[in-house]
Amino acid sequence: MVMRPPLVNVMARAAEKAARGLKKDFGEVEHLQISRKGPADFVSTADLQAQKILREELSKARPDFGFLMEEKDNAPDTSGKGERWIVDPLDGTTNFLHGLPHWAISIAAEREGELIAGLIYNPISDEMFWAEKGIGAYCSNQRLRVSARGDFADCLIATGMPFKGSSKPVAPFIAELQAIMPHVAGVRRAGSAALDLAYVAAGRYDGYWESGLGPWDIAAGILLVKEAGGFVAPLIAKQDPLKSGCLIASNTAVHDKFVAALRGAKVG
* pLDDT, tens only, 171-229: 999 999 999 999 999 999 999 999 999 999 999 999 999 999 999 999 999 999 999 99
Enumerate the H helices of 155-240 as residue ranges: 170-180, 193-201, 215-227
Same domain, 34 and 132: yes
Bridge partners of residue 247, in order along the sequence:
210, 234
Question: Could you give the 3-state DSSP secondary structure of residue 45?
Answer: helix
For residues 120 and 200, membership in a common domain is answered with no
- Domain identity same for 99 and 186: no
Same domain, 57 and 175: no
pLDDT digits (tens, 9 = 90+) for 37-49: 766 567 788 999 9
Same domain membership, residue 66 and residue 181: no
Same domain, 170 and 255: yes
Would you give per-residue pLDDT tens digits along the chain (268 residues)? Answer: 688 999 999 999 999 999 999 999 999 887 777 887 766 567 788 999 999 999 999 999 999 999 999 888 888 889 999 999 999 999 999 999 999 999 999 999 999 999 999 999 999 999 999 999 999 999 988 999 999 999 999 999 999 999 887 777 899 999 999 999 999 999 999 999 999 999 999 999 999 999 999 999 999 999 999 999 999 999 999 999 999 999 999 999 999 999 999 999 988 6
Regarding whether 87 and 66 lie in a shared domain, the answer is: yes
By the 8 A CB rule, do 47 and 93 touch?
A: yes
The whole-angstrom separation of Cα 54 and Cα 51 is: 5
- In degrees and rounded to multiples of 5, residue 217 shows phi and psi of -70, -35
Residue 40 structural domain: 6-143
Element (H, E) at 129: strand 127-132
- CA dist 40 and 222 (Å) reads 26
Q: Are residues 165 and 135 in the same domain?
A: no
Asked which of 114, 143, 172 is the last residue of a domain, the reply is: 143
Give the count of beta carbons closer than 10 Å to the beta carbon of residue 187.
Answer: 17
Could you tell me if 68 and 91 lie in one domain? yes
Instruction: Calculate the CA dihedral of residues 217, 93, 206, 154 and round it to 10 degrees.
Output: -150
Domain presence at residue 191: yes
Is residue 182 domain-shared with residue 251, that is, in the same domain? yes
Tell me the pTM. 0.95
Residues 252 and 200 both lie in one domain: yes
Number of domains in the chain: 2
**For residue 1, is it within any domain?**
no
**Which of 143, 169, 191 is the last residue before a domain boundary?**
143
